[in-house]
Chain A
Amino acid sequence: MKYFARAITPNEAFFVRYHVFPIPLEVDLATWRLRITGRVERPLELTLDDLRTKFPRVAVTAVNQCSGNSRGRFTPRVLGGQWGDGAMGNAEWAGARLRDILTAAGVRQGAVQATFDGLDKPSFPSVPDFVKSLDVTRIMDDPDVLVAYEMNGKPLPMLNGYPARLVVPGWYATYWVKHLSDIEVIDHVFEKFWMKPAYRIPDNACGCVAPGTAPARTVPINRMTVRSFIGSPEGGSRVPTGRPVTMKGIAFDGGHGIQEVQVSVDGGTTWQAANLGADLGRYSFREWTFSWTPARPGRARVVVRAFNAIGESQGRQPLWNPAGYLRNVIEHVDLVVG
């Protein structure tokens, strides 16, 4: 959890997740192209140099979090990657605006969605290729959706999508297609495997159902829920009695921005506001600190919760859904005082 005591996650500590095997282990820029096809006036084939030089470079600091981050904590347990809390990170992503690229290609009348495919291709033709989609209106309305070629000021690491990946701030990482190679503008809603039936959440306000049950209707997963974590001290640490200890952590949401972080040192009975760190934008981890002087020796449960700009927060009880998505229960660490 030490990486979640600060706003920027180093590239070499960033989580990695793929869907189909084998994954690309090398990329030749002489042959790599980003193709834009489908319902466009001018199909494009862009080199990495084209991306760098033909479109303004735009940077956004944004959280990239797996839809199933913390799935391993679900009760009753659910099948899938049994993540702890590490399937998230925050970086400054830089690249070309997706809408600038689509504008250069000229989106034609009747365009509904764009699909995104990368270099990772399954070993068997029967295995569904990893392809995602976004609404064209969402792309054209959102200046922060990028085709990024830099991560924290460096070229994208291979395992984080070299040479270019989609960046969809505020939305779960499933949309952030790596090693992006093909964008197709289409006249319908794309419903192949990785949009349906995969990566769906219950179609209701909480995205949840009674534990152990199946939702009647589902929609594609989208905006991230509010979360906050204590990065330091780590759970199980010993802290001295009568001396101040600085609690540190991060909070984030799906793009409204963090308004307030509150800390409780009595297990969630009383709450006090934490100090917020620098504002790196509404899609970023927001650092927080809280100075606490433990009065008595013994065990102490320190709890954190965040509120975003539209008042959304976190619950005391975890919500449940069969795929293990959207987890945002209030988190805590147990410390030993004295």
Chain B
Amino acid sequence: MRRAFAPGLVAFALAVSAGAAADRTIVLPADDRYATLALGPGVEVTRQQCSSCHSTDYIVMQPRGDARQWDGVVTKMIKVYGAPVNDQDAKTIVEYLAKQYGN
């Protein structure tokens, strides 16, 4: 699993970089193929809240973990990185991640 997606991120970086040959104005490509969030309760809230700062591939590439891990991640996003996510949405996101990306 680890080996399978680590090079994928590199490929993504190369693809983005390749679009940059023209100076001054660029258009970014769409999110890469790892960006599809697993379907389940809370997926829309998760997509909406998390994508305002980072692509969803950043979620699905992370190590799997239990609710404690994901609660830590979501709390860090809010308290440390300043994400404006309310308590209810944060709870929904943690439950979604723990179920879809749990151990």
A17, A28, A126, A197: the one contacting B82 at CB < 8 Å is A126
Restricting to A285-333, which residues have a CB under 8 Å from any CB of B? Answer: none
Cβ-based interface call for B30 (8 A): no
Contact B6 A72 (CB under 8 A): yes
Contact B54 A21 (CB under 8 A): yes
A-B contact count (CB 8 A): 113
Contact A160 B13 (CB under 8 A): no
B9, B14, B73, B83: the one contacting A126 at CB < 8 Å is B83
Cβ-based interface call for B39 (8 A): no
A11, A83, A193: the one contacting B6 at CB < 8 Å is A83
Minimum distance in angstroms from A17 CB to a CB of chain B: 7
Contact B10 A86 (CB under 8 A): yes
Q: Chain B CB within 10 Å — which of A83, A84, A162 has the most? A: A84
- CB-CB under 8 A for A15 and B63, given A27-B24, A126-B83: no
Of the four ranges (under 10, 10 to 19, 20 to 34, 35 or more), the interface on chain A belongs to 35 or more
B10, B25, B84: the one contacting A25 at CB < 8 Å is B25
Number of interface residues of B (CB under 8 A): 35
Query: In the docked arrangement, what's the CA distance between A38 and B21, Å?
Result: 35
Please encode chain B, from 17 to 58, with 1 for each CB lying within 8 Å of some chain A CB and 0 for all others.
111111111111000000000000000000000001110001
Contact B20 A12 (CB under 8 A): yes
Contact B17 A16 (CB under 8 A): yes
Minimum distance in angstroms from B43 CB to a CB of chain A: 20
Cβ-based interface call for A127 (8 A): yes
Contact A82 B26 (CB under 8 A): no
A13, A26, A122: the one contacting B24 at CB < 8 Å is A26
Contact A123 B52 (CB under 8 A): yes
B9, B25, B80, B83: the one contacting A72 at CB < 8 Å is B9
Contact A127 B83 (CB under 8 A): yes
Please encode chain A, from 73 to 103, with 1 for each CB lying within 8 Å of some chain B CB and 0 for all others.
1000111011111110000000000000000
Cβ-based interface call for B2 (8 A): yes
Contact A13 B17 (CB under 8 A): yes
Cβ-based interface call for A219 (8 A): no
Contact A158 B20 (CB under 8 A): yes
A20, A79, A128: the one contacting B63 at CB < 8 Å is A79
- CB-CB under 8 A for A81 and B26, given A12-B17, A72-B2, A128-B81: no
Residues of A within 8 A of B13 (CB): 15-17, 86-87
Contact B18 A12 (CB under 8 A): yes
Minimum distance in angstroms from A118 CB to a CB of chain B: 16
Contact B53 A25 (CB under 8 A): no
Minimum distance in angstroms from A197 CB to a CB of chain B: 8
Cβ-based interface call for B67 (8 A): no
Please encode chain A, from 179 to 203, with 1 for each CB lying within 8 Å of some chain B CB and 0 for all others.
0000000000000010001000000
Residues of A within 8 A of B58 (CB): 81
A15, A20, A155: the one contacting B23 at CB < 8 Å is A155
Cβ-based interface call for A159 (8 A): yes
Query: In the docked arrangement, what's the CA distance between A260 and B96, Å?
Result: 51
Query: In the docked arrangement, what's the CA distance between A126 and B78, Å?
Result: 9
Residues of B within 8 A of A268 (CB): none
Query: In the docked arrangement, what's the CA distance between A72 and B2, Å?
Result: 7
Residues of B bordering A, CB below 8 Å: 2, 5-7, 9-10, 13-14, 16-28, 52-54, 58, 61-63, 69, 73, 80-84
Residues of A bordering B, CB below 8 Å: 11-17, 20-21, 25-29, 72-73, 77-79, 81-87, 122-128, 155, 157-160, 162, 193, 197
Q: What would be 17 A-B contacts, judged by CB atoms less than 8 Å apart?
A: A16-B16, A28-B24, A72-B9, A72-B61, A79-B62, A79-B63, A79-B73, A82-B62, A84-B6, A84-B7, A86-B14, A87-B10, A123-B53, A126-B83, A127-B82, A158-B25, A160-B20
Q: Nearest 6 pairs between A and B by C-beta?
A: A86-B10, A126-B82, A72-B6, A84-B6, A77-B63, A157-B20
